[in-house]
Amino acid sequence: MEKFLLKNQCIINQIKFVVSIAVLTVTLLSTSIQLASAIEGNETDRLALLTLKQHLVGASSPGPLLSWNASLHFCYWYGIRCDRNRQRVIGLQLGRLKVAAAGTITPSIGNLSALRVVNLSDNSLQGTIPREFGYLKQLRLLDLSNNDLHGNIPVELNNCSSMQNINLILNSLTGKIPFGSGDYHMKNLTMLTLAANYLSGGIPSSLANLSSLDFLGLSRNQLEGNIPNDLSRLSNLKVLVFSRNNLSGTIPSSIYNLSSLTYIDMGSNQLSGEIAPEISFLFPKLEILYIGGNQFTGKIPRSLANISSLDQLDINSNGFCGPVPENLGKLQNLTLLAIDYNHLGSRKDGDLDFVSSLTNCSGLKLLAIHNNRLGGVLPDSVANLSTQIEMLSMGENRISGNIQGIGNLVKLTQLDLGGNLLTGKIPSSIGKLQNLVTFNLSMNHLSGPIPSSIGNLSQLSLLDLNGNKFEGRVPLTLKNCKDMSKLYLSGNELHGDLSNQLIGSFEKLITLNLSHNSFTGVFPSDIVNSKDLVELYVNNNNFIGRIPSQIGDISGLRFLHMQGNHFDGNIPLSFGLLRAIESLDLSANNLSNTIPSELQKLPFLLSLNLSFNQLEGEVPREGVFKNTSQFSIIGNQNLCGGIPEIQLPRCSVNQESKNKGSALSTQALLIMILSILIVSILVALIVVICWRKRSRREPINRPATPLLSVGCSRVSYQELLEATNGFSASNLLGEGAFGTVYKGILHQHKNPIVVKVLNLQNVGAIKSFEVECEALRKIRHRNLVKVITCCSSIDFKGNDFKAIVLEFMANGSLDKWLKCDSSRHLDFGQMLDVAIDVGNALDHLHHHCESMIIHRDLKPANVLLNNDMVAHVSDFGIAMILSDTTSKLGFMQATSSLIKGTIGYIAPEYGMGGPTSPEGDIYSYGILLLEMITGKMPTDELFNNGSSLHNFCKMGLMSLQQLKEIVDIRLLKQINDPNKSQNMEVDGDDIMWKCFVAFINVGVACSVEVPFERMKIEDAIKELQAIKRMCQYHHIVNQSNC
């Protein structure tokens, strides 16, 4: 038995030994395989990182990536995080590298298969987002924000099944939103931020498939259409940001099911409808609600006051009406309440009862209720508002009573009570508001003296007391307001002298308006201390003595109005130094002696009034004196000479000598300058001719235009040749000043394109090409034509070739629709839409680009219409970009001196060598509006007798009969159309005529001759939008419940 057991034990030990050997072999083999795999993965990661470095920094200094070299294992490189076990790269933290080069993201990033975190934000990266990101199945965070990436967002990102956070804010991405589509959905995605790009199309319903989403940010894009119902499936959503797009329609009722929402921002769209009355039950956790800048109507729901968590409520610039709920004071966490620019109130007592309840909001910092219909007495409870309040704006209502208790609100920085019916005095307690920066009490019925305590407001930058009944002297303590930039005291009963000590203390002053008071004494010469002064109005006072010659040293002064005083002596010769002056009015004084010849040399002077003085001698003939509509000299008895149109007697020899004697040296100097200028031009022409001849002999491999190397991806000459069928006549769309335009199709684009080929033989063509590329590189907007790509190459004959590729507009140019013989024409609704679109384009160019851009050739031929009849402004060949770079782009200045637009549409000041300005575009815009509604071009033979389209339309507003004679006959047919909408009200025809008149008024106001009198483009847009709303209201009858 023992032997048997012993034998069995030996067998068992042998088996164990064999099994151990086998296990050890398998373990060693597995470890070897893993080690080999890790080594292979590590090498793949290392090579991918080196390729990434090359694309990120190029040939520039590597900066923080200096450590990315063979002396260190890549896991120790700057910004790299590795997995401890496998030594694979799991994190790229490379935000804000601050390298000189504008790099790109290499597709090899897709080889870093273990990546979980990618942060390449704030690096000025260009190029596109590689679709290879879709290979990174473990990727959780992708942050490419604040770069200059363009192109579409790759749909392959949907394959990143572990993704939790995508941040692509502040880029130049285009196309549609691709997320949530396909077979794979990012079920773990919680944050999606795509704001501040150029994404278009609608908000896709597929976003509802991102079931874990709690933050959705799509603001500042070009999204349009309705908000999809399916978004109601995002039950975890807390933050919803759709602001500053072109969304329309109502808020779907299903959205109110998102009860977890804490932050809603849908501001600055075209949303309409009413807010659900039971909103407090639907959004019980809401903290932020921004819906301003839309078209919402109805009453403010009382139930808003039940959302106890509400912190900020902004519903400004809508159509809300009725009373402001008195229970808003229940919102004890409220810090911001903006209900301005609505139709709230009844202009009666009781409208301001809600203010008392707001005293319960102890954290309130901003209260904006201006531009409504609120009436009643300013309640005493204003004094009990939160001591934390920083902005209180109640202007442009019908508020009456006295100003009391404001001094308690010591943290106020902005106080606006202007445009009301307030009476009484400014309380001395106003001096307690030592943080106040802007203070507006204009256009009320306030009286008494300006309190000396106002001098305690040492941070004051704007003080507007216009249009009241203030009396007494301006307190000397006001000199303590060293930061004052705009001071308006006009239209009061102020009197007394103005000391140099006071006026000389405002060194930062930009605008000073003292007009229509009773100031006396000599005007202070220390106004010269205000070196940045642009506007000075001291007219209609009782100033005496000579006009201070020191005013001529304020080189940036544009508007100087001193009429209606008792100034005497000469017109200061130093006024000839006011190189920026546009409007000068010295009328109704006691000025004597001759008109200084220097005034005719002021390049921008467009309005000069010297009437009703005691001037004598010869009237100059050049500059502003060449156009009788721009100057007035009536009421001066001893003037002579001038242009024939003013019909003054010829000057005697003695009279001429008074002017000519002083002008001889100037004349000699002028001849010498002209001689030098002519020689310089001849030398420049010879240099250009020699350069052109030499450039034709240069080899064809030359650097691309610098501007193009930044802004455009290239396309070859061969591709454009194929796209346009060899630039065939059948593809020809038209010819312009600098080239020829063809229709074509690029193989990589499914939609038709437009190819603008520059004729390089034309003078200025190359400069036009560079200007247009630079302009289009800087701008993206719904109403501006989009540049697709460009070409700077040579053709098959070795000649230079330059072209710009733009998106094709199916409905052609606006001028085709305006021609009388056209089978197509605009109805009035389309006309309004086009006018608003073009206005929005100009507003963007003038005010919302990185640098101000002046188009300078706005006309119907340069307004293109797409499939949906949305207008796009095109042709930036002679545009001017007003920025620091303008000095570097000398060609812009050169082009501007040659061409500034098209006859009929060009602003009159350009024809006289005036400066390029936004007002020039506004003039062209006004003419375009008038051409649309009359069907008459500004060069029509009807205007050959000295009349103009502007005057023609202005006269047409005199009576209904005259109006019928100027309105396009095709529009008249709309009024008489028996098939017009059955919803039109009984007085619809009268409303239509009112709309026509209002439309013409905008065109006339935009096209007045004096630039600074033209309507501002933002005001023109508002007027046109109001006309559109009126037409919709009466013709489509979408009435609110108010």
Cα-Cα end-to-end distance for the chain: 110
Rounded to a whole number of angstroms, the CA Rg of the chain reads: 36
| 645 three-state secondary structure | helix
Q: Are strands 542-546 and 559-561 parallel, antiparallel or unpaired?
A: unpaired
What are the DSSP calls for 852-910, one per residue? EEE----SGGGEEE-TT--EEE---TT-EEESGGGGT-HHHHHHHHH----TTTS-HHH
Measured at the alpha carbon of residue 75, what is the angle toward residues 73 and 76, in degrees to the nearest 5? 75
**336 in Cβ contact with 315 (< 8 Å):** no
Place of tokens 């002017």: 659
CA distances for 184 relative to 45, 160, 188, 958, angstroms: 26, 8, 12, 67
Q: Which residues, including other chains, have CB under 8 Å from residue 644's CB and lie 6 or more apart?
A: none
**853 in Cβ contact with 775 (< 8 Å):** yes
756 is in an annotated binding site: yes
Please tell me the distance from the alpha carbon of residue 197 to that of residue 205, in angstroms, as a whole number: 20
Is the Cα torsion angle 626, 627, 628, 632 positive or negative in sign?
A: negative
Count other C-beta atoms under 10 Å from residue 858's C-beta: 28
DSSP state of 267: -
DSSP state of 286: -
Please tell me the distance from the alpha carbon of residue 295 to that of residue 277, in angstroms, as a whole number: 17
Hey, which bits of 718-786 come out as E strands? 732-735, 739-744, 753-758
Please tell me the distance from the alpha carbon of residue 413 to that of residue 389, in angstroms, as a whole number: 9
Of the candidates 862, 782, 839, the residue with the CA atom closest to the CA atom of residue 1003: 839
Q: Which two tokens stand for residue 898?
A: 């040659």
Please tell me the distance from the alpha carbon of residue 390 to that of residue 564, in angstroms, as a whole number: 40
What are the DSSP calls for 948-981, one per residue? -HHHHHHHHTT-HHHHHHHS-HHHHHHHT-TTS-
Strand order in the sheet with 590-593: 447-449, 469-472, 493-496, 518-522, 542-546, 566-569, 590-593, 614-619, 638-641
Task: Tell me how far the alpha carbon of residue 454 is from its chain's centroid.
Answer: 35
Task: Tell me how far the alpha carbon of residue 121 is from its chain's centroid.
Answer: 25
Residues in a beta bridge with 495: 518
Please tell me the distance from the alpha carbon of residue 356 to that of residue 344, in angstroms, as a whole number: 17
**299 in Cβ contact with 1040 (< 8 Å):** no
Choosing from 585, 857, 875, 968, the catalytic residue is: 857
464 assigned to active site: no
Please tell me the distance from the alpha carbon of residue 232 to that of residue 252, in angstroms, as a whole number: 9
Q: Which two tokens stand for residue 580?
A: 């920026």
Of the candidates 724, 758, 765, the residue with the CA atom closest to the CA atom of residue 742: 724
Angle formed by the axes of helices 988-1006 and 949-956, nearest 10°: 140
For 244, phi then psi, to 5°, come to 55, 50
Residues in a beta bridge with 398: 375
Task: Provide the annotated active-site residues.
Answer: 857
Binding residues for ATP: 756
